[in-house]
Amino acid sequence: MSLRPLISEEQIQTRVREIAAQITADYPDGTLYLICILKGACFFLADLARAMGRDAFIDFMAISSYGTERKSSGEVKIIKDLDISLEGADVLIVEDIIDTGITLNYLTALLKTRKPRSVRIAALLDKPSRRVRPVDSAYVGFQIPDEFVVGYGLDYAEKYRNLREVCILDPDSE
Ligand code: IMP
Ligand code: MG
Sorted by where each starts, the structural domains of the chain and their CATH numbers stand as: 7-149 (3.40.50.2020)
pLDDT (0 to 100) of residue 72:
59
The SS3 call for residue 119 is strand
SS3 category, 17: helix
Can 146 be counted among the known catalytic residues?
A: no
Does the C-beta of 126 come closer than 6 Å to ligand 1?
Answer: no
What is the per-residue pLDDT across 95-120, written as a single tens digit (0 to 9) for each?
Answer: 999 999 999 999 999 999 999 999 99
Question: CA-to-CA distance for 174 and 154, rounded, in angstroms?
Answer: 18
**Which segment of 19-23, 76-80, 113-117 scores lowest on mean pLDDT?**
76-80
Which candidate, 67, 74, 49, places its Cα nearest to that of 133? 74
- By alpha-carbon position, which residue is closest to atom 19 of ligand 1? 148
Mutation probe of ligand 1 site: the residue of 43, 99, 152 with most atoms within 8 A of C-beta = 99
Question: Distance, CA 55 to ligand 1 centroid (Å)?
Answer: 29
Which neighbouring-strand residues pair with 167? Answer: 5, 150
Contact status, residue 32 vs residue 90, Cβ threshold 8 Å = yes
CA distances (Å), origin 5, targets 47, 96, 142: 20, 17, 14
Residue of 99, 126, 136, 155 marked active site:
99
Give residue 75's pLDDT.
73
